[in-house]
Amino acid sequence: MKKLLFSLIAALLFAFPTISLADAAVGDIIITLGEDLTEQQKNEILAEMDAPESAQMITVSNEEEHKYLGNYIPKATIGSKALSSSGITIESSGTGLEVKTNNINWVTDEMYLNALMTAGVKDATIYVTAPFEVSGTAALTGLLKAYELSSDEAIPEEVKQVANEELVTTAELGDKVGAENASALMAKIKEEIAKNGVPETDADLRALIEKAAADLGITLTEDEINNLISLFNKMKDVNIDWNQVGQQLDQAKDQISNYLNSEEGQTFLQQVREFFVSLWNAVVAIFNGGGETAQ
């Protein structure tokens, strides 16, 4: 739950037409396994997930990883073996997404939520793991594949591509300004678009990005600004329901508020160190219309 607090901020994403899970019932579990796992590794991962015999099993290949991420991630980062795996439990409507990871060193919780929500996935508990530390890209590909196969509609290829590009763009920006700052910036930009509509020109989009960054105390290079302009221009070409964007933002704020008011949330805030208190204040500032982020 503590990880989910920060993951929620990264996942305040716009909504593509929702992918219905007509064939998946609440409580159903879908397991995605990297194709290059040994039999022993598969058995250990299934035991780690406490996977029931009724769970649907899906295999993810390294070829599929390169298909969906090869345009955005160096081949060396993706690697030559698909090893990371995931367990997905379908939850009731309105539950939201929760992600926990083990032995994943490149794809963060925020990135998984980013890609999943961009692709229209919601209301699930997700566990991502591997037999040893790996990048996690096989699990990312698997998560999208699993939900596509569980629904009565295919996730459009352009949606997958934009989701993956956004994932990588945010991750690369996070290497420069910090993962939390990068995620907060993306959320801020989307919040403004949800409220005021999509900027009509590159100049308007640039102004929005620069203002959002300034509000959060983030300094962007010219290349970083141009990359964000390019990304959001591609989003224009995808059928986005921006009214639902605002609803997702409101829902995320409600989840954060509910947690903070709970006994668990109060205990967490009492135990957390000063750095994380400052970071939390910066996150809250996003929803209050600005503020400076922790450095």
CA distance 110 to 180: 9
The closest of 156, 167, 96 to 126, measured between CA atoms, is: 96
Tokens of 231: 């990304």
CA dihedral 167, 96, 9, 192 (to 10 degrees): 90
What's residue 219's pLDDT?
Answer: 97
End-to-end CA distance of the chain: 24
What angle do helix axes 222-236 and 202-215 make, rounded to 10 degrees?
120
The closest of 153, 295, 172 to 227, measured between CA atoms, is: 172
Q: Give the ranges where the chain is alpha helix by DSSP (H).
A: 2-10, 39-49, 62-69, 75-78, 109-118, 137-150, 157-177, 179-196, 202-215, 222-236, 242-261, 263-271, 274-287
pTM exceeds 0.75:
no
What's residue 3's pLDDT?
Answer: 42
Q: Which residues of the chain have pLDDT under 70?
A: 1-24, 114, 150-153, 240-280, 283, 288-295
Tokens of 97: 């997404």
| pLDDT tens string 227-274 | 999 998 988 888 766 665 555 556 556 555 554 555 655 565 565 555
What's residue 59's pLDDT?
Answer: 93
| Vertex 285: Cα angle to 281 and 291 (nearest 5) | 100
Tokens of 3: 């990880």
